[in-house]
Amino acid sequence: AQKITQTQPGMFVQEKEAVTLDCTYDTSDPSYGLFWYKQPSSGEMIFLIYQGSYDQQNATEGRYSLNFQKARKSANLVISASQLGDSAMYFCAMREANYQLIWGAGTKLIIKP
């Protein structure tokens, strides 16, 4: 069974608009962490944001925020005021207590000028 699901293979968004990238996860472990990484066309993996399962507040990092809904097992990434440089693949990942990171298939985000 899929542990991390990203249902949007691709998205087109107008520059300066906000965008939400979906991520749902499945785990029975009470302690886990959720990560979002960005992979531009150059190929490197760039860490964006982290949310722990016990964190009470949604994580924020600059223009990135994580909409964490534990009961629904979703951890959507919100990018405010999108920029052309945000065009990239975005991956959601989950880390359980065994330290292994399970990855979603990714969402390709294209920002239109």
Partner 1 sequence: NAGVTQTPKFQVLKTGQSMTLQCAQDMNHEYMSWYRQDPGMGLRLIHYSVGAGITDQGEVPNGYNVSRSTTEDFPLRLLSAAPSQTSVYFCASSPRDATGELFFGEGSRLTVL
Q: What residues line the site for partner 1 (CB under 8 A)?
A: 4, 31-33, 35, 43-45, 47, 50, 52, 91, 93, 95-97, 99-106
Minimum separation from the CB atom of position 85 to partner 1 (A)? 19
Nearer to partner 1, 14 or 102 (CB): 102
Distances (CA, A) of 63 to 17, 38, 59: 12, 13, 11
Q: Which 3 state secondary structure label does DSSP give 84?
A: helix
Q: Which amino acid is at 66?
A: L
C-beta of 52 vs 84, nearer to partner 1: 52
Which single residue is written with the structure tokens 């968004």? 13
Pick the closer one to partner 1 by CB: 6 or 87: 6
C-beta of 12 vs 15, nearer to partner 1: 12
Tell me the closest approach of the beta carbon of residue 98 to partner 1, in angstroms.
9
Residue 102 sits at the vertex; the CA angle it makes with 2 and 93, to the nearest 5 degrees, is 100
Spatial CB neighbours of 28, under 8 Å, sequence gap ≥ 6: none
Report, in Å, the least distance between residue 14 CB and partner 1.
25
